[in-house]
Amino acid sequence: MSESAPIHARSLVLRDGVSMAAVHDLAAAQGWRPSFANRAGYTEKTVAEWDVVVEGEPPAAVGYREEHFSGFRAVTATSESESRAEQIAALLAANLSTVAEADVLDRLLDEAEASPGAIVMSLREWAAFHYAVVLVGGVPGPFDPRFRQVLERHVAHPHRQVRRTAMLVADQLANVWPECREPVIARKGIEVELDYMVDAFIEEAAK
């Protein structure tokens, strides 16, 4: 893939119980070429990457990333061709047990009262879907109105750590969709404990 062309990225979060070996086995079965692997210390992400080269098809790549802090693991298809990235993502979904982002968003918008810890984990899981797009500076998909609804709900949550996590997720997603900052900025004059985070969002939006 060229350095100047925009990159399309599509990520899938793996369900618990899907081993890294399963991803390696799929890569071997598909004939993908290993290009990078890192099983570094516990403070760093576990990463594996493969080049997907098929004659007559645009070049693509597949990456596996494990976030040690949250424990979520994602596989990502990237390509300069949007349709090729989606094709590889569909292949990943067909061969690995994955979580649908829509289900995570539904969970975060569920009216049933979830524990603060469960909400924090769901927010981190949601962020895992978009980490690769941020990482590669990729072309984002469309902004889902539910993104705003999730952020508005949880930046106003009574529990401090839920609000903090929602703001951190908003900061990550704002690299792709700047409008994700707006629910945090709207907390100016309302948020007390984390007012310094709100101020940081306002400063960033002004740049």
Looking at the structure of the chain, the number of domains it has is 2
Q: Say if residue 2's pLDDT is above 60.
A: no
CA angle 26/100/95 to nearest 5° reads 15
The range of the structural domain enclosing residue 189 comes to: 100-207
What's the rounded Cα separation, in Å, for the pair 1 and 181? 31
Domain boundary residue, one of 55, 84, 99:
99
Over pLDDT 70: what percentage of the chain?
Answer: 95
Average of per-residue pLDDT values in the chain: 91
For 91, other C-beta atoms within 10 Å of its C-beta total 15
28-42, 93-107, 143-157 — which is least confidently predicted? 28-42
Residues 109 and 200 in one domain: yes
Q: Say if residue 66's pLDDT is above 60.
A: yes
Burial of 52 (0-12, 13-18, 19+ CB in 10 A): buried
Predicted pLDDT at 81: 94
Strand positions, DSSP E, 67-174: 73-79, 98-99
- pTM for this predicted structure: 0.87
Domain boundary residue, one of 41, 64, 99:
99
Predicted pLDDT at 4: 63
What's the rounded Cα separation, in Å, for the pair 175 and 138? 10
Residues 42 and 8 in one domain: yes
CA angle 104/90/109 to nearest 5° reads 10
Predicted pLDDT at 45: 76
Residues 82 and 112 in one domain: no
Q: 25, 101 in Cβ contact below 8 A?
A: no
Read off the pLDDT of residues 28-44 as tens digits, 9 standing for 90 and up: 999 999 999 887 666 66
Residues 114 and 22 in one domain: no
Predicted pLDDT at 133: 78
CA-to-CA separations, 65 to 16, 39, 72, 152, 192, in angstroms, rounded: 14, 10, 8, 28, 35
Domain boundary residue, one of 99, 117, 149:
99
CATH (domain of 1): 3.30.310.10
Q: 155, 163 in Cβ contact below 8 A?
A: yes
Burial of 113 (0-12, 13-18, 19+ CB in 10 A): exposed
Q: Say if residue 159's pLDDT is above 80.
A: yes
Residues 54 and 148 in one domain: no
Read off the pLDDT of residues 113-131 as tens digits, 9 standing for 90 and up: 799 999 999 999 999 988 8
Residues 105 and 25 in one domain: no
Contacts of 149 (CB under 8 A, 6+ apart): 109
Q: Say if residue 136's pLDDT is above 80.
A: no
Nearest to 109 by CA among 119, 98, 99: 119
Residues 70 and 162 in one domain: no
Predicted pLDDT at 70: 78
Burial of 186 (0-12, 13-18, 19+ CB in 10 A): middle
Q: Average the pLDDT over 60-84 and give the result.
A: 90
